[in-house]
Structure formats: structure tokens, C-alpha cells
Amino acid sequence: MAELNQQENVVSLADESQKSLRSLLCDEERNFFIRNNGEKVKIEELEGKYVGLYFSAHWCPPCRAFTPILSEIYAKLLEKGDFEIVFISADVDEKSFEKYHRIMPWLALPFSDENTRQKLEQAFQVNSIPCLVVIDKEGKVVTTEGVKIIGDYGVEAYPFSAGRLDQLRAEEEALRAAQTVESLLVSDERDFVIAHGGRKIPVSELVGKTVALYFSAHWCPPCRSFTPKLIQVYTELKERGEVFEVVFISSDEHQDAFEDYYSSMPWLALPFGDKTKKDLTRHFRVEGIPTMIVLGPNGKTVTDDAISVVSIHGSKAYPFTDAQLIRLQKEIEDLAEKSPKEIQYSQHEHPLVLVQSDAFNCDGCDEEGSAWSYYCKECDYDIHLTCALKDQQGPEKL
């Protein structure tokens, strides 16, 4: 609903320019766009087509990351014959504009037409890039959220209308309702995941287990920081006899990086470069790494925030259900209720006060915590309640 309201606001701002595609994109001195070879294409050739206005710049890393994705979508939609894209540059000079436009297969507003660029940015409230505004065949705004929509649904989102998005969301909900570990991990070409030594483990062996899908990469420092913690949790759960497995889903760029990183992990993996990785990323809306999705024994999603859950609670969080997290939270609340309001911690010079806290990093054990901590405001120093009480009483008295 928020997205629709935003679009309605943009439409009201652009009412005058929506009379036709020509009135939106022309000015008194120019009635054409350019290709990257310098060819001029008259604006009237775009009438009767869906048009994407792509606000982007070469200096912007997210833009450079999205442009290849958009190029892939563009190539597929060209077959329909009723879709075009116009690059609206936010580059700082014409040389940068030309260098960036050279890798784009679509049209561009001439860099020199600063007046039209500013008019379009104001009309569509372009406050950040990349931004893709889609205009329909009548010159009316379909969406200003083209980048997100393509990230979520790819080419299937065409023509990006509210009706099409509603249909896709309904299909998505149906898929989630029918989700199993096999529907997620089995493809037409493959019915297995891999283990060390090149062994192939049938996905069917994961049915009935709690399975964590671990999206990670060797090049990602937060991933390399989290992986040892996950290894510790995995080992503890295995030693307890829990029916638990992890499947590594790599975002590494090269096979050797994947193999080097995977060699440190004791669990299973999706084969490097497997196309299922893209499907899983889209299905679970994975926007960054590390991300860990936990599936219950029935294959349904238990949590999509397992990184923070494991970071805070470790193996105690298993099986990662809401009920278990509520129980852990109650344990923390009960401990806080019977704990002293102020202590002197042996590893810190000032008194520490019991406070409610959001997520924090314990200065005692260097692990994450939440809900309650002992805190020194003067030094911004936090420790877990358990770390503090062990220091005060000894672990055997907790």
C-alpha cells in the first residue's frame, strides 16, 4: 500500500507531463534520444511503448551492479517489441557519461540536456540512484520502484503494473505455502547437494530435518566473522544429536574461492555456480550477506533472521522457532529480575548498571547480546548478565 501511495503522489506531481510521452521527454531544442554509437532516435518512435527511465551514474557502485541485471531484462523484453529504456545520467561529466552509456544497449538523454534531466528528477522525486521509472503506452506512470521490482521478480514482472505485481505476489504466497526442502533445492538437472570429497548427498536425505540455508562468501568480511560462530553452533548441535544440517550457498565469484572457503566448513553446499542460487536469493529476498534462512522439518521457513538469532543465543536458539526464542527471552527477563541493579565488574574500573538494551556486543566475552546488559555509560561498556554474574559469584552459583 505504501508503494501505491508513493506512486499516486508522483503521478499527481507529473499530471501535466503525462499528457503524452512527447511532452514528458521533449524540450524546445531536442526531439530525439541517442544510442551509444551516436545515432539519433526520434522520441515519437517510443510512443505506444512501455518506457523505462533509468536514472543512474557510472560513479555509483549500486548502479554499476544493477546495470548488467537490467541489460539482461532488456534483452529479453526486446523480443516483445513494445519496451524501451532511456538512460538519464547523473554523471559528473560527459566523458563519464559516454563511458557508462557505451556498455548500455538502450537509448540515453543527451548529457547536455540538463534542463530535461532536472525536470524528470523533480517530477519523479528521484532522491537516490539507481532508480527505474516505468511509463506505460499512454505516458502514465506504472511504477517508480522498477529497481526493486526487477530485483524481486526479474523479467516476470513485465509490464510492471499493479495487477501483474498482485498476480506475482499471489503466486509467491502459493509457493511459500507449498514450500518443501525438495522444492527449494532440487532442480531439473540436480537432485543432490554436495559434501566434502565430492560426495553427492540426495536432497531427499534432508527431508524431516531442520535445515539452514547459509548465504555467504569468502570475500565478505562479516561472513568470515560469522562462519566460525556457526561452526561452533553446528558442532554443538551435532554433539547433542540434533537433526540439523546447513547448506552453504556461495556468492563467491570464482570456483577456487568457493572451494577455499568451503574447506573450512563442516556442512553441505550447493554446487558452485548452480542456477538454483539465483532462485533462492529471489525467493527469500536475500539483499545482503551473510544471511541464513532456517527451514523446519516440514520445509517451511522458521526464520529469515537466523544470523542475529545465532549471534545472540548460539546453539540455545535451536530449533530457531518463535516459541524457543520466546522461552529464551523469558529466561533473560527472569535472570534480570533477580539480578542486582548495580555491580562492580573485575575487568572494568567503573560500576556497571543493569539496563534494558537492544542488540549489543559484550565487552566481556566479545559475543552479541540483547534485552538486558550491565552498562557503563561513561565508557559505553556492555557485558552480558551471565558474564557479570559469573564474575561476581562463580559459574557454579548461577
**Tens-digit pLDDT string for the chain (398 aa):** 334 344 444 444 444 444 455 667 777 778 899 999 999 999 889 888 999 999 999 999 999 999 999 999 999 999 888 999 999 999 999 999 999 999 999 999 999 999 899 989 988 999 999 999 999 988 889 999 999 999 888 999 999 999 999 999 998 888 888 899 999 999 999 999 999 998 999 999 999 999 999 999 999 999 999 999 999 999 999 999 999 999 999 999 899 999 999 999 999 999 999 999 988 998 898 988 999 999 999 999 999 999 989 988 899 999 999 999 899 888 888 777 788 888 888 888 888 888 887 778 888 887 777 778 888 888 888 888 878 877 766 544 43
* Length of the chain in terms of residues written: 398
pTM over the 0.75 mark:
no
Per-domain residue ranges of the chain: 2-172, 181-320, 335-397
Question: Kind and range of the H or E element at 148?
Answer: helix 146-153
Sign of CA dihedral 144, 148, 154, 156: negative
Residue 133's DSSP bridge partners are: 53
Hey, what CATH topology would domain 2-172 get?
Answer: Glutaredoxin (3.40.30)
Cβ 327 vs Cβ 335: under 8 Å: no
- Per CATH, is 181-320 categorized as 3.30.750.24? no
Q: Beta strand pairing status for 200-202 and 50-56?
A: unpaired
Same fold, 2-172 and 181-320: yes
Which residues, including other chains, have CB under 8 Å from residue 238's CB and lie 6 or more apart?
244
- Which has the closest alpha carbon to 25: 88, 81, 103? 88
Give Cβ neighbours of residue 193 (< 8 Å, ≥ 6 apart). 185, 200, 201, 203, 206, 247, 268, 269, 270, 271
Separation of CA 171 from chain center: 20
CA distances from 16 to 52, 118, 140, 231, 370 (A): 19, 16, 10, 59, 52
